[in-house]
Amino acid sequence: MNRSLNIIAILLLVASGWRLTTVASERQLRMAEVEQMRSLIPHSGSLSGVDVFGNMINAEKDKDGHLRNKGHLLMFALQNVNRDAQLKMWRSVLEDANSETLQQQFSSLQVWAVCDEGALCRVSVPKYITLVGYLDPSQMRALVNVSTKHQALLYDSDKLLKSPIDLSGTSNDIARRLAQEVQ
């Protein structure tokens, strides 16, 4: 009896050790992916462009040049062919977040949707989304790189790339990932 308990204890230790190794490996893989992404994408963005109506736009900044309220800027590609579904998903992510904590974290978030058809993409969007037609070429290239991987870009208050945001899963999954990065 005592011997079987020892064997069970050893098996549990091995299983938990294997799980910790797996989690650590997944984290290292994610960190390597982010570093690789950062090497392909400019570390900072101009965060200025032209909206779909032809007006120059800039990220909202405070007097020190940081993003408003020490917030973040989320930038994603909006494909005109399925824009309604995408906007519905973003509305769900940013408005219908399950908790007040998420809503508070998103309050200082600037959101830019860069339409793949430029000025042809004049649609009604929620007031918290800035509809962008064009960005500078390096910023557009960065956005194209991540959008092909079904990701968005998140910039910190210093206008530096913080992280690509994976857009797979449910809107709650995306909201949790975004909230984790915005903290």
DSSP 85-117: HHHHHHHHHHTS-SSHHHHHHHTTEEEEEEETT
Q: How far is CA 153 from CA 123, 140, 143, 164, in A?
A: 22, 11, 7, 5
Across the chain, which has 183 residues, the per-10-residue mean pLDDT values are: 72 69 68 57 70 88 83 88 87 71 73 83 79 86 86 89 89 87 83
- Cα atoms in the Cβ-side hemisphere of radius 13 Å centred on 70: 2
DSSP 152-181: EEEE-TTSBEEEEEE--S-HHHHHHHHHHH
What pLDDT score does 134 carry? 86
What pLDDT score does 157 carry? 87
What pLDDT score does 135 carry? 87
What pLDDT score does 115 carry? 86
Q: How far apart are CA 66 and CA 59, in angstroms?
A: 9
What pLDDT score does 39 carry? 47
Q: Contact 140/133 with Cβ under 8 angstroms?
A: no
The pTM for the full model equals: 0.72
What pLDDT score does 30 carry? 67
The one-letter amino acid code at 116 reads: D
What pLDDT score does 75 carry? 92
What pLDDT score does 153 carry? 92
Task: List the beta bridge partners of residue 119.
Answer: none
Q: How far apart are CA 57 and CA 59, in angstroms?
A: 7
